[in-house]
Structure 1
């Protein structure tokens, strides 16, 4: 059996100064602890415009930070939005390859198509064309 941690970086209102910074740094500290305890993986999703549900619009940056302070835990990039208006496929491949190099081969990768009309609308993607 394998164990891991999963992050969407939820932050309910009301927001106070420093809350978002604390959220990110506490999640990073948890991943460091999970690595030290022998957890197998840590996953971070990608979401946009979902202000309380997820503050995770740049998981590649968060995962790079996690790679720099951990040694063994695998780092999961899921769900990476692969609709071209979100993230161009070549840029996705480049970012994943760089993260894999920086983490010494510890990257896991999950993709998705976007779930909410709010996220799709923010990038001018009609829901019928997301696939």
Structure 2
């Protein structure tokens, strides 16, 4: 049997200026501890505009930091969003490949699509407006 851990990035209000930096540092400490305790895998999820639910819009950046602070634990995307208007699939594959090199082969890669509740990203309406954007790109 294998055991993994899912790291949440919840940050309830009120926020101080340093709150997000402290959140990331605490999650890096948890990742390090999970590795030391022998957990098999660690998973993070990409979310956008879910202010109190999740403050992790770039899981690949966080997992890159984890590669430098862990030795054995597998590092997983649960999931990276792949609608092209959010993450270009080719660039995403390149980022994951680089991360896999940094981690010495410890990356678990999962992809998914976003919900209609995602909101606005880079001026592009996600959800109903996504169909128009997909036709253009």
Q: Same fold (TM over 0.5)?
A: yes
Provide the secondary structure at the position in 1 that maps to 2:110. Answer: strand
Task: Output the CA distance in 2 between the equivalents of 1:48 and 1:94.
Answer: 21
Please tell me whether the aligned partners of residues 114 and 120 of structure 1 are also in contact (alpha carbons under 8 angstroms): no
TM-score when scaled to structure 2? 0.88
Task: Output the CA distance in 1 between the equivalents of 2:93 and 2:62.
Answer: 17
Q: Which position in structure 2 is the counterpart of 1:50?
A: 50
Q: Which has the larger radius of gyration?
A: 2
Task: Output the CA distance in 1 between the equivalents of 2:93 and 2:64.
Answer: 15
Q: Which position in structure 1 is the counterpart of 2:65?
A: 65
Q: Could you list the runs of 5+ residues in structure 2 that have no partner in the other structure?
A: none
Task: Output the CA distance in 1 between the equivalents of 2:6 and 2:102.
Answer: 20
Aligned length: 130
How far 1:120 sits from its partner (Å)? 4.5
| Change over 3 Å in CA distance of 1:7–1:115 after alignment to 2 | farther
Please tell me whether the aligned partners of residues 44 and 79 of structure 1 are also in contact (alpha carbons under 8 angstroms): yes
How far 1:77 sits from its partner (Å)? 1.3
- RMSD of Structure 2 on Structure 1 (CA): 1.8
Provide the secondary structure at the position in 2 that maps to 1:50. Answer: coil
Task: Output the CA distance in 2 between the equivalents of 1:83 and 1:17.
Answer: 31
Q: Which position in structure 2 is the counterpart of 1:30?
A: 30
